[in-house]
Amino acid sequence: MERDFYRHPERFPGNADGPFYTTGYQLDDGTWCGDCMFCGTPEMAAPTLLSPVTGEDANTYFVRQPSTAEEIEQACEAIDACCVGALRYGGRDPRILAKLPAASCDYRKPGYLHRLVRLLFSKRSAI
C-alpha cells in the first residue's frame, strides 16, 4: 500500500494510516465527529475495512487499509456508496484513481486537467 499520500486537514483521527480515509471535524471541546451520516451503507461495502456502526461508536473510519485487489475494490465501492463524500482517497495510484469519482480523490485523475481544458476551449469557441 502507498506510503506517500495526502494528509487531509480534516482526516478523522481514527483512520488507519494510509491513503483511504474518512473526514470529520473537531468540536470546541476537542472531540472529533465523523462526517459520514451513520447509515451503514459504506460499511456494508467494506465490512472488514471500516469500523462497524454501533450505538457506542457512530463514526465511520478505516480501521485498516486494503491489502488485496479485492479489498481495494471494496474500499472504492464504499467511497462510491457514501452519499455525503466523507470517504476519500488520498493516494496517487492511477488504477485506483480511475475507479473513483474525481470529487473523492485528493489528487487529479490522469488526463483530467487535459480533458477539462479541452472542454473549456471547445465551449469558448462555440460562443
Query: What does each of the 127 residues of the chain score in pLDDT, given as a tens digit?
Result: 667 788 889 999 999 999 999 999 999 999 999 999 888 899 999 999 999 988 788 899 999 999 999 999 999 999 999 999 999 999 999 999 999 998 999 987 665 555 555 566 655 544 4
CA torsion sign for 6, 9, 12, 13 is positive
Q: Are 15 and 89 in contact (CB under 8 A)?
A: no
Domain ranges, residue 44: 20-126
Tell me, yes or no, whether 113 lies in a domain.
Answer: yes
Tell me, yes or no, whether 26 lies in a domain.
Answer: yes
| CA–CA distance, 115 with 86 (Å, rounded to integer) | 26
Tell me, yes or no, whether 8 lies in a domain.
Answer: no
Tell me, yes or no, whether 11 lies in a domain.
Answer: no
What is the count of structural domains for the chain?
1
3-state secondary structure of 87: strand
Helices (runs of H) and strands (runs of E) counted in the chain: 4, 4
pTM over 0.85: no
| CA–CA distance, 60 with 92 (Å, rounded to integer) | 23
